[in-house]
Amino acid sequence: MSWTSWAQGRNAKAREKRRWRQLRELDVFGARGTLHDGRRVVVFAANDYLGLSAHPEVMAAAHRAIDEWGTGAGASRLITGSRPVHHELEENLAQWKQTEAALVFPSGYSANVGILSALAGPQVLICSDELNHASIVDGCRLAASLGAKTELYRHNDIEALEGLLGSWAGRSVVVTDSVFSMDGDAAPLSELASACARHGALLLVDEAHAVLGPYFSGLPCEVLRIGTLSKALGSQGGFVACSTEMAQMLVNRCRSFIYTTALAPSSAAAALAALRVLRSPEGASLLAQLEGYSRRLLPGRRLASPIVPLITGSEEAALKASEALLEMSLFVPAVRPPSVPPGTSRLRVSLSAAHTDDEVELLVKSLVQLDLLPVGTPSARLL
């Protein structure tokens, strides 16, 4: 059988299972876009939580960086060196996360895969929450190929984690998302840190979606804080905030840092400008607006993030609901297996401070109309 025939067979199986996916053209700027057929839509799918990808200061910083350094970094930082903006960004990230150092990667995915494999080896146990992001899952798989033992623990189950750590005599690592990307719930970081402290484990926390928290400092264990530049900061790339010794180890050992072209200077400059906006009074205002929008969809519930999962169960129901919203000019894609477990297909609503009050009101009314939100969900405008 040729490889083309093999690919055709795989494609046919995906269609049979109604799990066929294809790319959709969407010309978007900020929270609004145009589909390939000319329809205008409001996008409730992106992770640009604060709308900083279209912020004038962020875009201007990227333009200045292109004028000064061109469009690419040229090679890995160990080959061609770092641009000044890389170091400035890392210094500011470390200050923000209250760590000694930070190290920037071309993506959050490469950060997770590279860091977990750099920590791997015989006599190392890596414990991963069962709902962690795919980049963590792949990092654990690579770590296992390098001799580490990897174990899943039940979602946010401290007792199950304690059982794994207590039965291991070697070095151990616990890795978790701080906010889980498909459910929008938060990890119990204080309890996780206490468990790590009792067993001498290193805690890796991926804060990619933690725009509204959970916030933490001074945890009673060693911590690596992994983050992204491509969501709340509206740019591209990933980073780890950690001790100076750990950062130096990664520069010398982490393959996804050593053997790849560095983050484009324009992306680093955009992220740095976005971080400055985030830490300013304007950033506080954007966060407050985002939190208010999130409470519109989840009134009276404990708020963890601007991610609102609306479980439909079947894949067909999720696709049907997504298409119905598209007819209402709302772009909310369906999320299906393998991204989520079978039977838990959903719409994943992602809110942004870039949305307007009218747009959020339209979303709420439309979801109520489709029986995806309770009828009593408030639809009055925010004050």
pLDDT digits (tens, 9 = 90+) for 53-81: 999 999 999 999 999 999 999 999 999 99
User: What is the per-residue pLDDT for 375?
Assistant: 52
Mean pLDDT of the chain: 94
pLDDT interval class at 19 (50, 70, 90): confident
Q: Which of 97, 209, 235, 267 is catalytic?
A: 209
User: What is the per-residue pLDDT for 129?
Assistant: 98
Rounded (to 5) percent helix, strand, coil in the chain: 45, 20, 40
User: What is the per-residue pLDDT for 1?
Assistant: 87
Q: Which of 231, 256, 345, 355 is catalytic?
A: 231
Domain ranges in the chain with CATH number 3.90.1150.10: 23-49+306-369
**Does position 156 have pLDDT exceeding 70, yes or no?**
yes
User: What is the per-residue pLDDT for 217?
Assistant: 86
CATH number of 55-278: 3.40.640.10
pLDDT tens-digit readout, 79-95: 999 999 999 999 999 99
Considering the entire predicted model, what is its pTM?
0.93
Share of the chain above pLDDT 90, in %: 87
Is 172 an annotated catalytic residue? no
Domain ranges in the chain with CATH number 3.40.640.10: 55-278
pLDDT interval class at 160 (50, 70, 90): very high
Residue type at position 358? D
Looking at domain 23-49+306-369, its CATH architecture is Alpha-Beta Complex (3.90)
On whether the CB atoms of residues 361 and 381 are closer than 8 A, the answer is yes
Spatial separation of the C-alpha atoms in residues 264 and 256, rounded to whole Å: 15
User: What is the per-residue pLDDT for 381?
Assistant: 31
Residues 210-240 as b or e (16 or more Cβ within 10 Å = b): bbbbbebeebebbbbbbbbbbbbbbbbbbbb
Hey, which of 14-18, 270-274, 375-379 has the most confident mean pLDDT? Answer: 270-274
pLDDT tens-digit readout, 215-268: 888 899 999 999 999 999 999 999 999 999 999 999 999 999 999 999 999 999
Is 256 an annotated catalytic residue? no
Q: Which of 107, 110, 181, 235 is catalytic?
A: 181
User: What is the per-residue pLDDT for 377?
Assistant: 57
Is 181 an annotated catalytic residue? yes
Taking CA atoms, 67 is separated from 118, 135, 177, in Å, by 35, 33, 37
